[in-house]
Amino acid sequence: MVATFEDRDGQIWMDGKMVPWRDANVHLLTHAMHYASSVFEGERCYNGKIFESRRHSERLLNSGVAIDMPIPWTVDEIEAAKQQVLAENRLTDAYVRAIAWRGAGQDMGVSSKNNPVRLAIAAWSWGNYYGDAKMKGAKLDIAKWKRPSPETVPSHAKAAGLYMICTMSKHAAEAKGCSDAMMFDYRGYVAEATGANIFFVKDGEVHTPDPDCFLNGITRQTVLGMLRERGVTVHERHIMPEELEGFEQCWLTGTAAEVTPVGQIGDYRFEVGALTRDVAESYEKLVRS
Protein backbone atom coordinates (compact mmCIF):
# COMPACT_ATOMS: atom_id res chain seq x y z
CA MET A 1 0.00 0.00 0.00
CA VAL A 2 1.35 3.42 -0.99
CA ALA A 3 1.87 5.77 1.96
CA THR A 4 -0.22 8.93 2.01
CA PHE A 5 1.56 12.26 2.04
CA GLU A 6 0.67 12.80 5.70
CA ASP A 7 2.05 9.42 6.83
CA ARG A 8 5.69 9.18 5.80
CA ASP A 9 9.10 9.00 7.36
CA GLY A 10 11.42 11.96 6.97
CA GLN A 11 11.86 15.58 7.95
CA ILE A 12 10.22 18.79 6.71
CA TRP A 13 11.68 22.27 7.22
CA MET A 14 9.11 24.56 8.83
CA ASP A 15 9.78 28.18 9.82
CA GLY A 16 13.47 27.63 10.40
CA LYS A 17 13.60 24.20 12.00
CA MET A 18 13.33 20.57 10.98
CA VAL A 19 10.10 18.85 12.00
CA PRO A 20 9.30 15.12 11.78
CA TRP A 21 7.17 14.54 8.66
CA ARG A 22 4.06 13.39 10.54
CA ASP A 23 4.21 16.42 12.86
CA ALA A 24 4.41 19.03 10.10
CA ASN A 25 0.86 20.31 10.66
CA VAL A 26 -1.04 23.60 10.73
CA HIS A 27 -4.13 24.75 12.62
CA LEU A 28 -7.63 24.31 11.18
CA LEU A 29 -8.10 28.09 11.12
CA THR A 30 -5.00 28.74 9.04
CA HIS A 31 -5.91 31.61 6.74
CA ALA A 32 -4.58 29.88 3.61
CA MET A 33 -6.98 26.97 4.08
CA HIS A 34 -9.97 29.32 3.96
CA TYR A 35 -8.83 32.05 1.57
CA ALA A 36 -6.05 30.51 -0.58
CA SER A 37 -3.41 32.92 0.72
CA SER A 38 -0.55 30.69 -0.37
CA VAL A 39 2.22 30.54 -2.97
CA PHE A 40 4.52 27.65 -3.77
CA GLU A 41 7.31 26.28 -5.94
CA GLY A 42 7.91 22.84 -7.43
CA GLU A 43 11.56 21.97 -8.13
CA ARG A 44 13.52 18.90 -9.13
CA CYS A 45 16.85 17.82 -7.73
CA TYR A 46 19.11 15.78 -10.03
CA ASN A 47 22.27 14.14 -8.75
CA GLY A 48 22.20 16.31 -5.64
CA LYS A 49 21.65 19.63 -7.46
CA ILE A 50 18.31 21.45 -7.72
CA PHE A 51 17.88 22.68 -11.27
CA GLU A 52 17.57 26.50 -11.41
CA SER A 53 17.20 26.54 -7.64
CA ARG A 54 17.76 30.27 -7.08
CA ARG A 55 15.33 31.21 -9.84
CA HIS A 56 12.67 29.17 -8.08
CA SER A 57 13.43 30.83 -4.74
CA GLU A 58 13.31 34.26 -6.34
CA ARG A 59 9.98 33.47 -7.99
CA LEU A 60 8.57 32.30 -4.66
CA LEU A 61 9.35 35.68 -3.11
CA ASN A 62 7.96 37.51 -6.15
CA SER A 63 4.75 35.48 -5.97
CA GLY A 64 4.39 36.44 -2.33
CA VAL A 65 4.68 40.12 -3.22
CA ALA A 66 2.16 39.66 -6.03
CA ILE A 67 -0.54 38.44 -3.62
CA ASP A 68 0.31 41.07 -0.97
CA MET A 69 2.03 38.51 1.24
CA PRO A 70 5.72 39.44 1.65
CA ILE A 71 7.69 36.36 2.70
CA PRO A 72 10.10 37.10 5.60
CA TRP A 73 12.98 34.95 4.36
CA THR A 74 15.73 35.78 1.90
CA VAL A 75 16.70 33.80 -1.18
CA ASP A 76 19.88 32.67 0.56
CA GLU A 77 17.94 31.45 3.59
CA ILE A 78 15.53 29.52 1.38
CA GLU A 79 18.42 28.01 -0.57
CA ALA A 80 20.09 26.85 2.64
CA ALA A 81 16.81 25.37 3.88
CA LYS A 82 16.34 23.35 0.69
CA GLN A 83 19.81 21.90 1.00
CA GLN A 84 19.15 21.02 4.63
CA VAL A 85 15.95 19.19 3.67
CA LEU A 86 17.74 17.15 1.02
CA ALA A 87 20.57 16.28 3.41
CA GLU A 88 18.27 15.36 6.32
CA ASN A 89 16.23 13.07 4.07
CA ARG A 90 19.29 11.67 2.28
CA LEU A 91 17.92 12.55 -1.15
CA THR A 92 19.93 13.24 -4.28
CA ASP A 93 17.15 12.83 -6.87
CA ALA A 94 13.92 14.34 -5.62
CA TYR A 95 11.03 16.69 -6.06
CA VAL A 96 11.24 19.74 -3.78
CA ARG A 97 8.16 21.68 -2.67
CA ALA A 98 8.54 25.08 -1.02
CA ILE A 99 5.30 26.68 0.18
CA ALA A 100 4.54 29.95 1.94
CA TRP A 101 1.17 30.80 3.45
CA ARG A 102 -0.76 33.05 5.81
CA GLY A 103 -1.08 31.14 9.03
CA ALA A 104 -3.52 31.29 11.90
CA GLY A 105 -3.42 34.54 13.86
CA GLN A 106 -5.55 37.45 15.02
CA ASP A 107 -7.54 37.66 11.77
CA MET A 108 -10.09 35.17 10.51
CA GLY A 109 -11.72 36.90 7.58
CA VAL A 110 -10.68 38.17 4.18
CA SER A 111 -8.16 40.57 5.71
CA SER A 112 -5.15 38.81 7.18
CA LYS A 113 -2.33 41.31 7.71
CA ASN A 114 -2.10 40.47 11.41
CA ASN A 115 -1.45 36.80 10.66
CA PRO A 116 2.09 35.45 10.32
CA VAL A 117 3.50 34.39 6.96
CA ARG A 118 4.92 30.90 7.30
CA LEU A 119 7.24 28.85 5.11
CA ALA A 120 7.83 25.12 4.73
CA ILE A 121 10.00 22.98 2.45
CA ALA A 122 9.54 19.26 1.82
CA ALA A 123 11.21 16.82 -0.58
CA TRP A 124 10.44 13.31 -1.76
CA SER A 125 11.28 10.86 -4.51
CA TRP A 126 8.98 11.28 -7.52
CA GLY A 127 9.15 9.67 -10.94
CA ASN A 128 7.61 10.78 -14.23
CA TYR A 129 4.66 13.11 -13.66
CA TYR A 130 2.74 11.56 -16.56
CA GLY A 131 4.02 8.01 -16.12
CA ASP A 132 4.77 6.18 -19.39
CA ALA A 133 3.19 9.04 -21.35
CA LYS A 134 6.62 10.65 -21.19
CA MET A 135 7.78 8.10 -23.76
CA LYS A 136 4.57 7.34 -25.68
CA GLY A 137 2.98 10.79 -25.79
CA ALA A 138 0.33 12.08 -23.41
CA LYS A 139 -3.36 12.19 -24.26
CA LEU A 140 -5.00 15.49 -23.33
CA ASP A 141 -8.61 16.50 -22.90
CA ILE A 142 -9.75 20.05 -23.67
CA ALA A 143 -10.83 21.79 -20.47
CA LYS A 144 -14.07 23.71 -20.16
CA TRP A 145 -12.45 26.12 -17.71
CA LYS A 146 -10.33 29.00 -19.03
CA ARG A 147 -7.27 30.77 -17.70
CA PRO A 148 -8.49 34.11 -16.33
CA SER A 149 -7.63 37.65 -17.32
CA PRO A 150 -4.65 39.24 -15.48
CA GLU A 151 -7.11 42.00 -14.58
CA THR A 152 -8.97 39.54 -12.35
CA VAL A 153 -6.13 37.57 -10.71
CA PRO A 154 -2.33 37.88 -10.34
CA SER A 155 -1.84 35.39 -13.16
CA HIS A 156 1.96 35.52 -13.09
CA ALA A 157 2.17 34.40 -9.46
CA LYS A 158 2.49 30.71 -8.64
CA ALA A 159 -0.42 31.03 -6.24
CA ALA A 160 -2.49 28.16 -4.87
CA GLY A 161 -5.85 29.75 -5.69
CA LEU A 162 -5.06 29.81 -9.41
CA TYR A 163 -4.94 26.01 -9.47
CA MET A 164 -8.53 25.34 -8.43
CA ILE A 165 -9.75 25.19 -12.04
CA CYS A 166 -6.67 23.16 -12.94
CA THR A 167 -7.59 20.47 -10.42
CA MET A 168 -11.16 20.40 -11.73
CA SER A 169 -9.96 20.17 -15.33
CA LYS A 170 -7.45 17.41 -14.58
CA HIS A 171 -10.06 15.37 -12.72
CA ALA A 172 -12.42 15.65 -15.70
CA ALA A 173 -9.61 14.63 -18.06
CA GLU A 174 -8.62 11.60 -16.00
CA ALA A 175 -12.25 10.48 -15.93
CA LYS A 176 -12.03 10.30 -19.74
CA GLY A 177 -8.80 8.29 -19.69
CA CYS A 178 -6.56 11.29 -20.41
CA SER A 179 -3.37 12.32 -18.64
CA ASP A 180 -4.19 16.01 -18.50
CA ALA A 181 -6.20 18.81 -20.09
CA MET A 182 -5.28 21.71 -22.32
CA MET A 183 -6.82 25.02 -21.33
CA PHE A 184 -7.79 28.04 -23.38
CA ASP A 185 -7.51 31.55 -21.95
CA TYR A 186 -10.32 34.02 -21.30
CA ARG A 187 -10.11 35.23 -24.93
CA GLY A 188 -10.29 31.75 -26.43
CA TYR A 189 -6.59 31.42 -27.29
CA VAL A 190 -4.62 28.24 -26.52
CA ALA A 191 -2.99 28.74 -23.11
CA GLU A 192 -1.40 25.76 -21.33
CA ALA A 193 -2.07 22.43 -19.63
CA THR A 194 -3.20 22.33 -16.01
CA GLY A 195 0.37 22.44 -14.67
CA ALA A 196 2.62 22.72 -17.71
CA ASN A 197 3.30 25.01 -20.66
CA ILE A 198 2.71 23.80 -24.22
CA PHE A 199 4.68 23.86 -27.48
CA PHE A 200 3.74 22.94 -31.07
CA VAL A 201 5.77 22.19 -34.20
CA LYS A 202 4.85 22.95 -37.81
CA ASP A 203 7.21 22.79 -40.80
CA GLY A 204 10.25 22.66 -38.52
CA GLU A 205 9.29 25.79 -36.60
CA VAL A 206 8.03 25.99 -33.04
CA HIS A 207 4.92 27.83 -31.89
CA THR A 208 4.08 28.45 -28.23
CA PRO A 209 1.43 30.63 -26.58
CA ASP A 210 2.41 34.09 -25.38
CA PRO A 211 2.33 33.83 -21.55
CA ASP A 212 0.46 37.08 -21.06
CA CYS A 213 -2.15 35.59 -18.69
CA PHE A 214 -0.48 32.48 -17.25
CA LEU A 215 2.80 31.46 -15.66
CA ASN A 216 5.89 31.79 -17.85
CA GLY A 217 7.46 28.60 -16.54
CA ILE A 218 11.15 28.26 -15.77
CA THR A 219 11.28 25.02 -17.78
CA ARG A 220 9.50 26.82 -20.62
CA GLN A 221 12.15 29.53 -20.60
CA THR A 222 14.92 26.92 -20.49
CA VAL A 223 13.51 25.08 -23.52
CA LEU A 224 13.08 28.32 -25.46
CA GLY A 225 16.76 29.02 -24.88
CA MET A 226 17.72 25.53 -26.05
CA LEU A 227 15.69 25.91 -29.25
CA ARG A 228 17.18 29.28 -30.10
CA GLU A 229 20.70 27.98 -29.47
CA ARG A 230 19.93 25.32 -32.11
CA GLY A 231 18.75 27.95 -34.57
CA VAL A 232 15.14 26.76 -34.46
CA THR A 233 12.65 29.47 -35.33
CA VAL A 234 10.31 30.08 -32.39
CA HIS A 235 7.04 31.99 -32.51
CA GLU A 236 5.66 33.17 -29.15
CA ARG A 237 2.19 34.29 -30.08
CA HIS A 238 -1.54 33.91 -29.63
CA ILE A 239 -2.68 30.55 -31.04
CA MET A 240 -6.26 30.00 -32.17
CA PRO A 241 -8.02 26.66 -31.49
CA GLU A 242 -8.48 25.91 -35.20
CA GLU A 243 -4.70 25.94 -35.67
CA LEU A 244 -4.35 22.70 -33.69
CA GLU A 245 -5.28 20.72 -36.79
CA GLY A 246 -2.21 21.96 -38.66
CA PHE A 247 0.43 21.24 -36.04
CA GLU A 248 2.56 18.12 -36.45
CA GLN A 249 4.17 17.72 -33.02
CA CYS A 250 3.42 18.87 -29.50
CA TRP A 251 5.05 18.71 -26.10
CA LEU A 252 4.56 19.99 -22.55
CA THR A 253 7.15 21.57 -20.27
CA GLY A 254 7.25 21.98 -16.51
CA THR A 255 9.37 21.12 -13.51
CA ALA A 256 7.19 18.10 -12.75
CA ALA A 257 6.39 17.31 -16.40
CA GLU A 258 9.97 18.01 -17.57
CA VAL A 259 9.58 17.65 -21.37
CA THR A 260 6.66 15.33 -22.15
CA PRO A 261 5.52 14.57 -25.73
CA VAL A 262 1.81 14.89 -26.50
CA GLY A 263 0.17 12.40 -28.86
CA GLN A 264 -3.39 13.71 -28.77
CA ILE A 265 -5.45 16.72 -27.69
CA GLY A 266 -9.16 16.11 -28.00
CA ASP A 267 -9.61 14.86 -31.58
CA TYR A 268 -6.27 16.26 -32.77
CA ARG A 269 -3.32 13.87 -33.09
CA PHE A 270 0.41 14.56 -33.14
CA GLU A 271 3.51 12.50 -33.87
CA VAL A 272 6.31 12.12 -31.34
CA GLY A 273 8.74 13.48 -33.89
CA ALA A 274 12.47 14.06 -34.08
CA LEU A 275 12.43 17.60 -32.70
CA THR A 276 10.28 16.59 -29.75
CA ARG A 277 12.58 13.67 -28.93
CA ASP A 278 15.67 15.85 -29.33
CA VAL A 279 14.32 18.52 -26.98
CA ALA A 280 13.33 15.93 -24.37
CA GLU A 281 16.71 14.18 -24.51
CA SER A 282 18.66 17.44 -24.47
CA TYR A 283 16.71 18.73 -21.49
CA GLU A 284 17.41 15.49 -19.61
CA LYS A 285 21.15 15.89 -20.28
CA LEU A 286 21.08 19.55 -19.25
CA VAL A 287 19.44 19.04 -15.87
CA ARG A 288 21.84 16.21 -15.02
CA SER A 289 24.99 17.99 -16.19
Q: Going residue by residue through the chain, which has 289 residues, state the pLDDT in tens, using 9 for 90 and above.
A: 568 999 999 999 999 999 999 999 999 999 999 999 999 999 999 999 999 999 999 999 999 999 999 999 999 999 999 999 999 999 999 999 999 999 999 999 999 999 999 999 999 998 888 877 777 899 999 999 999 999 999 999 999 999 999 999 999 999 999 999 999 999 999 999 999 999 999 999 999 999 999 999 999 999 999 999 999 999 999 999 999 999 999 999 999 999 999 999 999 999 999 999 999 999 999 999 9
Domain 133-287: CATH superfamily is D-amino Acid Aminotransferase, subunit A, domain 2 (3.20.10.10)
Best CA proximity match to 37, nearest among 159, 119, 213:
159
pTM: 0.95
Q: Where in the chain is the domain with CATH 3.20.10.10?
A: 133-287
- For the domain made up of 11-124, the CATH class stated in words is alpha beta
Please give the positions annotated as active site: 158
Distance CA 227, CA 200 (A): 12
Distance CA 205, CA 239 (A): 14
- The C-alpha angle 198, 199, 200, rounded to 5 degrees, equals 130
Distance CA 280, CA 135 (A): 10
Q: Where in the chain is the domain with CATH 3.30.470.10?
A: 11-124
Distance CA 90, CA 65 (A): 32
CB 222 within 8 A of CB 283: yes
